A and B are shown apart, each in its own frame.
Chain A
Amino acid sequence: MSAARASGAPVSGAPVSGAGKAGRWRLRAAQLRAFAARYAGRADGMLGLVVLVFFGILALAPELFVGPLETATRASAHAFDAPSAQHLLGADDLGRDILNRTVHGARISMTIGLMATVITLVFGVVLGLVAGYSGGLVDNLLMRIADFFLVLPTFVLALILAPVLIEVVGADAEVMGIRATLLVIIVVIGITSWAATARIIRSQTLSLKERMFVDRARVVGVGPGRIILRHILPNVMNLIVANAVLTFASAVLTETTLSFIGLGDPFQPSWGQILNGAQDSGAAGLGAWWVIAPPAVSVVLVILAFTLMGNALDDLLNPKSRVRR
């Protein structure tokens, strides 16, 4: 009487078998289309997608809606001007336009979220694959470390790591055009959140390996690297996707919180940074809701959108789907 009986064959059913390259791609494309159709049937997932596309456009091209970044960091009004025709969402304590800052904040917040997610996934997936595939001592060691990171109060650790790392690299350094402060936030999120991903990937790798070696013919004379890349990775892709979306949500949350606490970069307004300014200037106590509402609503919408999408994907893609956290 389980729901599994009622649902159609999951995309992740049997390991994708190698029936020639073209055949494989055709199979993948068909699976993808079938999956897209099922995803489209999920109202919550589609709602999340719409919100995400909206903020994605803001992040990609803020200039389409407001002036360039410089206008967001310069005063153009009086302190705490209420919303008006000129400044649709009013101004903050330094007379900077809130709409302008919020739109630009989308880019910073989403970029950091994205990069932190990538780092988390790279660490988590690689370590999870290695642990699950090699088993034995390596697996044991890696999973003990993962367990350690799972009990560790990672947010407090992040608070300690962030200033330490900033001092190491220097606050004004730039890597690939990203200022060090932001980079540190990205790395800190990655370091402190890879463990959960690694655990999920590991357990899936384990069961895939079992199945793979039952089907011995497929693995004789093939090196482990190739087995992982060609046979296991494609089959954990579903999990990675579902996990990535949920990781993104928590990365944006962590970034916002770290910035709110004052670890952000004052020259690059993320939503957390704007709220940090609101906090420092006592905007709430002054009743200046327009400083708070736009970034706050944006954060909540983005996290909500990702959570909705993540849950939908998880239901559709993860064979042993369980609500986590």
Chain B
Amino acid sequence: MTAEIRGRRQWPLPKQADPAAPLLRVNNLQTHFQLGRGWVKAVDGVSFGLDDGEALGLVGESGCGKTTTALSLVRLLPSNGRIRGGSVELFGIDLVPKTDRQLDRYRWREISIVFQGAMNALNPVVQVRRQIAEPVQYRLNQSESASLKRADELLDMVGIPSRRLGAYPHELSGGMRQRAMIAMALACDPAIVIGDEPTTALDAMVQAQILVLLEQLRRDLGLSLILITHDLSVVAETCDRVLVMYAGRVAEEGPVSRVFTEPRHPYTRKLLGAFPNIRSDRRTLETIPGEPPDLVNPPAGCRFAPRCAQAMPVCAGTLPPEVSFDDGVRVACHLFGTTA
């Protein structure tokens, strides 16, 4: 197959790539963790797609499997984690059956990650610029000096003053570290950048700066972005589409403009209700009563059923099918099972 240049991409696609295929297509992904008492079904049948230049927001309660979904894309799971089903197709190439050695070619060059808490995600005993230069040197096979030069350019691009070039992670402020992480994620000019709560633990001012930076870089570089966050207003501002997860499954997915203005899934409605800034007409915050289910033995039917105010008899026993609407929204709920 001929190597093609696509979008704003600077170098050819991988050899096996299908130029007609979407950028990323995740089908029925199942990622489980092995525990003594069984498998934790952290991600259990998740599907979604991502187009060139698109920004997808990934939201949901803590523990619903956002990080696990993201890490499954390039299989960076903890040692007790397995992808037990589904596919992750990048340019039409399924990454799931690949060996670790083969996957290394896609990691960072195609999909890079800005981790939460850069303090721990950066190696404490290596200079930040060397950590940024590392993927350039070892993945793009540049000389050490060229890699360092590129690292310095990247640091400049994310707004780290040049006098901080020799800094170690602990010598930078939280915001600077996060900027450095972003610079590192951009080092190989990847197709997709995943941001896993890139601004948590930063103060509001710095959060805003980082988000503006990400947004600007995304537009300038034509990146595709998967943004994991608890902050729905961030999703509203920066993302094109949003994926709402609940207990390892997709609750609702669609264009941000549609989902946030007309949430269909009871969980999405609760989630938006629990968040003050989206629906400004609300005075009192709603909380969602109850707790997410145990993921080792999740409910047989809809996983939200135990907490859902609209639950019907069918909900407890039957898994709700995903139903697509004309406006591009997809919902997994029995309320819509028959009407769509």
B80 interface residue (CB < 8 Å to A): yes
A177 interface residue per 8 A CB criterion: no
A8 touching B78, Cβ below 8 Å = no
Interface size (B, Cβ < 8 Å)? 5
Q: How far is the CB of B83 from chain A (nearest CB, A)?
A: 16
Asked if B7 is at the interface of the complex by the 8 Å CB criterion, the answer is no
Q: Which residue of B lies closest to A41 (CB)?
A: B36
- Of all chain A residues, which has the CB nearest B78? A1
In the bound complex, how far is the Cα of B275 from the Cα of A277, in angstroms? 80
Complex contacts, B80 vs chain A, CB 8 Å: 6
Q: Does B340 sit within 8 A of A, measured CB to CB? A: no
A11: min CB distance to chain B, Å: 16
Determine whether B35 belongs to the interface, using a CB cutoff of 8 Å to chain A.
yes
Which chain B residues numbered 44 to 82 have a C-beta less than 8 Å away from chain A? 78, 80
Contacts of A6 in B (CB 8 A): 33, 35-36, 80
CA–CA, A97 and B323, complex, Å = 85
User: Mostly helix, strand, loop or mixed at chain B's interface?
Assistant: loop
**Residues of chain A lying within 8 A (CB to CB) of residue B35:** 6
- Interface size bracket, A side: under 10
Q: Give A8 to B35 CA distance when docked, in angstroms.
A: 10
Query: Closest chain A residue to B81 by CB distance?
Result: A1
Determine the distance from Cα of A1 to Cα of B35 in the docked complex, in whole angstroms.
13
Question: Residue-by-residue, is B83-118 near A (CB-CB < 8 Å gives 1, otherwise 0)?
Answer: 000000000000000000000000000000000000
Q: Which residues of A contact B36 (CB under 8 A)?
A: 6, 8
B31 to chain A, nearest CB (A): 13
Nearest CB of chain B from residue A227's CB, rounded to whole Å: 35
Complex-state Cα separation, A1 to B78, whole angstroms: 6
What's the Cα separation between A163 and B190 when bound, in Å?
A: 72
Identify the closest chain B residue to A6 (Cβ).
Answer: B35
Residues 1-28 of chain A, each 1 if its beta carbon lies under 8 Å from chain B, else 0: 1000010100000000000000000000
A1 contacts across to B, CB distance below 8 A = 78
- Complex Cα–Cα for A6 and B80 (A): 9
* Chain B contacts with A in 136-172, Cβ cutoff 8 A: none
A317 to B5, CA, bound (A): 57
Chain A 27-73 interface residues, beta-carbon cutoff 8 Å to B:
none
Distance between Cα atoms of A6 and B36 in the complex (Å): 8
| A6 CA / B35 CA spacing, docked (Å) | 6
User: In whole Å, how far is A169's beta carbon from the nearest beta carbon of chain B?
Assistant: 53
> How far in angstroms is the closest Cβ of chain B from A305?
25
> What residues of B have a CB within 8 angstroms of the CB of A8 in the complex?
36
**In the complex, residue of chain B having the shortest beta-carbon distance to the beta carbon of A2:** B78
For residue B63, give the distance in angstroms from its CB to the closest CB of chain A: 11
What residues on A are CB-neighbors of B33 within 8 Å?
A: 6
Q: Report how far A232 CA is from B134 CA in the complex, Å.
A: 49
- Complex: how many Å from CA A8 to CA B38? 12
Nearest Cβ distance between residue B124 and chain A, in whole angstroms?
A: 17
Compute how far the CA of A122 lies from the CA of B35 in the bound complex, rounded to whole angstroms: 39
Q: Which residues of A lie under 8 Å from residue B78 when comparing CB positions?
A: 1
B35 and chain A: residue at smallest CB distance: A6
Q: How far is it, in angstroms, between the C-alpha of A8 and the C-alpha of B80 when the chains are bound?
A: 15
Q: For the complex, give the distance between the alpha carbons of A1 and B81 in Å.
A: 10
- In the complex, the chain B residue whose C-beta lies closest to that of A1 is B78
- Closest chain A residue to B34, Cβ basis: A6
State in angstroms the CA–CA spacing of A6 and B33 once bound together.
Answer: 9
Who on chain A is nearest to B67 by CB? A1
CB distance from B15 to the nearest CB of A (A): 33
A110 CB to closest chain B CB (Å) equals 35
In chain A between 241 and 295, which residues have their CB closer than 8 angstroms to a CB of chain B?
none
B248 CB to closest chain A CB (Å) equals 16
CB distance from B228 to the nearest CB of A (A): 15
Could you tell me the distance in whole angstroms from the C-beta of A10 to the nearest C-beta in chain B? 14
**Complex: A1 Cα to B42 Cα, angstroms:** 13
CB distance from A34 to the nearest CB of B (A): 13
Closest 3 CB pairs of A and B: A1-B78, A6-B35, A6-B80
* 6 A–B pairs (Cβ distance < 8 Å), ordered by A: A1-B78, A6-B33, A6-B35, A6-B36, A6-B80, A8-B36
B interface residues, Cβ below 8 angstroms from A = 33, 35-36, 78, 80
